Structure 1
């Protein structure tokens, strides 16, 4: 919107460089990414190869060696403590991101975690045309995945980005296959439906996910040929158009992971360098079409001021503004389409660069009816199927076509807001809250701790041994987050992890929970944990979704 004309645009295309961000290690047990980051940086800094020099001449390369450095350190410490023992590849007995675990890669519209906030800030400043997100997956399938993604794509992503992702992912797959690397798959396993893990698709950049087969953390593994089998849209034991050179099994370890990932990153950077002008023109075109407004977008979205859940409204506005969406406030009351809106109502015009993000977060999703085969059962979605802010935060947003006829403020800053705790939950008379934390810690427990910490609500964490040892006598409330009854009762089996992390609550802990309630304590169980409480007290509880 600030380019003066065709001459300036041509000058910018001639002088500009492709901006590429490569992120590693958001999931800390996927250990290859952060190890490969150092190798990739060394290659870029030291090599005099013509291909590398071409990249350096035509690309601005932003590298984040670890999106989860704390978790990476925990995993490294855990592995180094147990390497050479029977627990060498044992799982970490706590979440590898302090609050969210694996869900830290589902935070790209809510922006709750500090790592997300800082990364989004860097993307908003540098506006990369390409973001390469390096991950690992299970061991018994393909050796590495690149896009194209499988269906569905979220409908607010510009078609030119879809095709850009398809061509770049296919180019990367072709490069690795030409190098003799086996087991490269495209158009399998992963979709592109939710902005929760694809921020750049709504900011004119291509998000290239790669997923490399894992080993046993940093230790090698051996994969039997007969263990290679079907995945989503391919079969690891068979040749197909999207899996043309199957890997036949054998030894697989950290050097293989780093080699495949580094080769993929270099292929991506090579494409970005050789097609510099294409990526800049594509970036400009996606943004221009958004500023011109898509035909099927409304003219504006309006969030009326004065709605009951002001905290929810402000949290949604915070996310929109943090995503560089321009939000205004009406300077006076107004009416449109027989609806009245008070002064101060929030107006999001849809002729702006990141309108796709706003529309995706404010409209109601219609997930497509995808079937395993014609007339067959529904395909199981890869991930979440909806993300409407109004449903998540309990407020109304209205899509409007036409001129509003009201003055608007300059774009607002991200609003501050407080969540006031009820009086009975604070102060000297507040209940003493204990939160059960299993050594098979579920992600909802971590999110629950984040909510409590974010809003400064006091609590203590209790492990199995604490409850077995009588610690409940110091509390009024015990919280069980979503976790199945068996894992609460039994935990890890003996021999799976060191002894202190096994056994669950066991008989003694279960008896302590029962005595706690019988002596006046309160237990709050959420989702799957209700089965544990129902069994403990012989309650007749049925699932509302049973039979669906």
Structure 2
């Protein structure tokens, strides 16, 4: 009987989803609101059609002009200059009092100066705020096309549920990626034959610079789109629920909906996780109640809540319920395959779906149900959501004012180890005694005095790289963290600090985010079974931003309350100055990344610049090797005096040129290697080049293969992902493929092709022999083997005469920070500290073969336990191996950089390896 009912259920579902649902929801109505069907060339959600951003934007403006339920707000510009809009939807009465409700939300979110009774009164008066976005990843086409219909329905429906939602909830409908939508939709629609439409062959990244990594920029907020969204979420509106919509769903299913699998990050409030499970369960229940099968949770996909960089996961560190859905579908119809493993119902897959043809309209109906479930939950739990939002913020403030401890996986390992010699005393519950340890160990291990959480972090202005420290503080400010600036000198824990020092207290609502940015991540040792291989984490495991950016700070373990003012807006870099009055020229420290901007400005003007090869001294000022020397001239003076102010660096005027040996730096022609479709690390590198004013040209493998590269370039930069890996070899990475040239416009065909051993390597070898510089980062370090450099992969083994990669059971560092030693006397490492934290993501390390070509070890791993933040298995295998090498190839250079020294434009100190290499390589041959 059950089988028959289920079959009938599937049949009914098929009839429901193949009915003309789009036509029904787009019928004209008495409210005078333009329907999607009459507002676009073809109705969004229909087969073989995608609305682009221009059309979407025009429809938003039409709706705002026609409905008293919607207000349209400009939140800033995208990278390509398009306006980013948020459509605020609520009852007309609520829209008339938006500033009032925004103020209530801000007060509850900050949780300062409120007691529980006051907070409860505000919660009862306030409105729940829900953010629902679209378009984060532009090739995930369901979300924008769905949002068009969701908006229309919310503005026109008059049923009781809709009216209740509009009365109780303020909905912020945002779009994360206008540029990507325009590109993807235009590319898809370019073909007149609908059945030939596709977007797999788009020639470039679908968000300028970073493509899919736009959803990894949240805690940095370096892209304008992320900064705009973060300002709405964490500095203006403070939504209790942040719904970040994606695709695609698990195979053989329709949609992934929370809850997520473990691990969750131990920094955030546990109340958040229980609320997250409530909302997720509500979403599943709505789908099932509406006879929409095929949803899965937890083990159905790899999504966890560990990493802070994504829009929905950064929410957790701000006490907001972050939701992620991943749904199937697209404008080209598809089929749901029959996957036996997902056909048996269980707690994570409660209602399987039968195989069937699937249309974009089907996905839109599911998306409507999911959005509706979230909004209904927010409405029914409005005052509880608001009060709990305050409660989590208040918890954070209270924890930041007293001794508190955060238990990490390493703490539990220590507790278990201590418990081996200290079992619990016998009692009547002896059945459970095997897992018990002496209760006194709780205080001795988990709450040891030295493991207390800091109550504040103090950051002085005496930093090696002050502009980078300001960038770090601005990343915190963009995330709504309160940063104070001392109005007067003060003392903390026996240390004196001058006025102007920055203070980040942990007694603030966003304490989880503060701790996550300053303290190392301690990812669980998450394996398939005891002694087995690791479970692949969803994203990177270690990313401590203060370490990545090389920021110096002091932890303070007592409550401090110095005279200090909160910073409003973002910080400007404190102006630098010209120090002294000598007229021979200026010395500039190499430690600041901004010194490269000054250098590039001088080189662009055709002015001489040199690096002093050894340490030097000018008066009371000491300069490490690599100090920048700028001979005096009228034009040089103009550039130096103007630049030091906005760059925040000092130039020390000298009466005579330094006597030490110097290396003249010449202008360079840089080729940044990319490939058709775009490689994200290359895009991030392009962004860095533009920020630091390096001249460059993007170059594709087909051009490299033609040879004669020295006629065009002095330096070629290969970012991670630009050199294809070898299957089962020692180089990590995904295999690349190119589209059929006949399927793309002729103007893009010259970009096709991949770096190859057969064609590209000989051209690169010739380039190096002629004096060219090659920089290979991450898995692009495979070029060391292709160019027969005297380096061999250290994290590898030989099998049947071939070099193979180590298994994950043997060695596994899936995106973490590791400590490396550096020789700062070498030009490639000028300005870097003797130890530095490297970002290591299944990277490679090297040993020297000792044959022929001259090679120097610039950075290496000295410790058997180099892990600083994240997770590592087999980390001892790094000890004694080389991270970065300087190799002579003919007249030229090969700089091999195993770690990702520019990873997502986050590890600022290691940018110098790349920047130094660009300028030093060509100059070294002179």
Within a 5 Å distance, the mapping from 1:81-480 to structure 2 comes to 81-82=190-191, 84=194, 88=198, 90-123=200-233, 124-138=235-249, 140-188=251-299, 189-197=302-310, 198-213=313-328, 215=329, 217-225=330-338, 228=339, 235-293=341-399, 295-296=404-405, 297-331=453-487, 336-337=492-493, 341-404=497-560, 406-411=562-567, 413-417=569-573, 419-421=594-596, 425=600, 426-427=603-604, 428=606, 429-468=666-705, 472=709, 473-480=711-718
CA contact (8 A) 2:700 2:752 kept: no
Q: How many Å separate the matches in 2 of 1:288 and 1:391?
A: 28
> Who is 1:503 aligned against?
753
> Who is 1:515 aligned against?
766
Q: How many Å separate the matches in 2 of 1:185 and 1:409?
A: 48
Q: How many Å separate the matches in 2 of 1:92 and 1:491?
A: 13
SS of the aligned residue for 2:309 comes to helix
Aligned pair partner of 1:17 in 127, 138, 145: 127
SS of the aligned residue for 1:485 comes to coil
CA contact (8 A) 1:133 1:207 kept: yes
Scaled by the length of structure 2, the TM-score of the pair is: 0.55
Per-residue CA deviations over 1:329-364 (Å, capped at 9, x if unaligned) read: 345555544656455332212211212211111111
Q: Select the structure with the greater relative contact order (CA < 8 A; seq sep ≥ 6).
A: 1
SS of the aligned residue for 1:421 comes to helix
SS of the aligned residue for 2:695 comes to coil
> Who is 1:543 aligned against?
793
CA contact (8 A) 2:467 2:594 kept: yes
> Who is 1:69 aligned against?
178
Q: How many Å separate the matches in 2 of 1:351 and 1:139?
A: 41
> Who is 1:41 aligned against?
151
> Who is 2:777 aligned against?
526
> Who is 1:492 aligned against?
738
CA contact (8 A) 2:252 2:355 kept: no
Cα–Cα, structure 1 residues 544 and 258, in superposed 2: closer, same or farther, change >3 Å?
farther
Per-residue CA deviations over 1:346-394 (Å, capped at 9, x if unaligned) read: 2212211212211111111111122212443322211111221222101
Query: Which deviates more, 66-75 or 493-502?
Result: 493-502
Cα–Cα, structure 1 residues 286 and 406, in superposed 2: closer, same or farther, change >3 Å?
closer
Q: CA deviation at 1:454?
A: 2.0
> Who is 2:584 aligned against?
none
Q: CA deviation at 1:505?
A: 5.2
Cα–Cα, structure 1 residues 135 and 422, in superposed 2: closer, same or farther, change >3 Å?
closer
CA contact (8 A) 1:149 1:192 kept: yes
Q: CA deviation at 1:301?
A: 1.6
Q: CA deviation at 1:194?
A: 1.7
SS of the aligned residue for 1:301 comes to strand
Query: Which deviates more, 242-251 or 123-132?
Result: 242-251
Cα–Cα, structure 1 residues 61 and 331, in superposed 2: closer, same or farther, change >3 Å?
closer
Q: How many Å separate the matches in 1 of 2:163 and 2:249?
A: 35
Cα–Cα, structure 1 residues 136 and 491, in superposed 2: closer, same or farther, change >3 Å?
closer
Q: CA deviation at 1:5?
A: 5.7
Q: How many Å separate the matches in 2 of 1:349 and 1:2?
A: 13
Q: How many Å separate the matches in 2 of 1:199 and 1:315?
A: 18
SS of the aligned residue for 2:793 comes to coil
CA contact (8 A) 1:87 1:496 kept: no
Per-residue CA deviations over 1:194-241 (Å, capped at 9, x if unaligned) read: 22112222222111111112x4x420112331xx36xxxxx5243211
SS of the aligned residue for 2:482 comes to coil
CA contact (8 A) 1:74 1:96 kept: yes
Q: CA deviation at 1:138?
A: 5.0
Q: How many Å separate the matches in 2 of 1:154 and 1:486?
A: 33
CA contact (8 A) 2:674 2:698 kept: yes
Q: How many Å separate the matches in 2 of 1:514 and 1:370?
A: 43
Q: How many Å separate the matches in 1 of 2:464 and 2:689?
A: 22
CA contact (8 A) 1:329 1:412 kept: no
CA contact (8 A) 2:702 2:752 kept: no
CA contact (8 A) 1:371 1:379 kept: yes
Scaled by the length of structure 1, the TM-score of the pair is: 0.90
Q: CA deviation at 1:306?
A: 0.6
Q: How many Å separate the matches in 2 of 1:376 and 1:505?
A: 36
Q: CA deviation at 1:163?
A: 0.7
Cα–Cα, structure 1 residues 178 and 491, in superposed 2: closer, same or farther, change >3 Å?
closer
Q: How many Å separate the matches in 2 of 1:346 and 1:202?
A: 22
**Runs (5+) with no aligned partner, structure 1:** 230-234
Q: CA deviation at 1:169?
A: 0.6
Cα–Cα, structure 1 residues 2 and 327, in superposed 2: closer, same or farther, change >3 Å?
closer
Q: CA RMSD in A?
A: 2.7
